[in-house]
Amino acid sequence: MRERTRRRVVAEAQSHRATPEELRDASKRLKEIEGELRDLPLSEEAKKGEPREQRYARLLRLRAMREEFVGDNPIVGDHPNGLVLSVVMTIASFMVCAFCAGTVIFGLQILNQTPNPSDTASAYWQAVEAGNYGQIYSTYLSSTQRVSSQQQDFITNATQADTDYGQVTAFVEQGQPVVTKQQATLVYKITRGSKVTYKCTLTLVLRGGTWYIDNTDSSFAPSLAGVPTPTPTTQPTATTSS
Domain ranges of the chain: 1-40, 117-225
> In this predicted model, what pLDDT tens digit does every residue of 170-220 receive, in sequence order?
999 999 999 998 999 999 999 999 889 999 999 999 998 899 999 999 999
Assigned fold of 117-225:
Nuclear Transport Factor 2; Chain: A, (3.10.450)
* Angle, helices 2-15/20-39, rounded to nearest 10 degrees: 160
The neighbouring-strand residues paired with 201 are: 187
Distance CA 68, CA 55 (A): 20
Distance CA 134, CA 126 (A): 13
State whether residue 218 is helix, strand or coil.
coil
Say if residues 138 and 158 touch (Cβ distance below 8 Å).
no
CA dihedral 26, 28, 34, 37 (to 10 degrees): -80
Q: According to the model, what pLDDT value does residue 28 have?
A: 85
Q: Which residues contact 177 (CB under 8 A, 6 or more apart)?
A: 117, 118, 121, 184, 185, 186
Provide the whole-model pTM. 0.52
Q: Which residues contact 79 (CB under 8 A, 6 or more apart)?
A: none
Q: Which residues of the chain are under the pLDDT cut of 70? A: 1-18, 44-48, 75-82, 104, 106-114, 232-242
Q: According to the model, what pLDDT value does residue 4 have?
A: 65
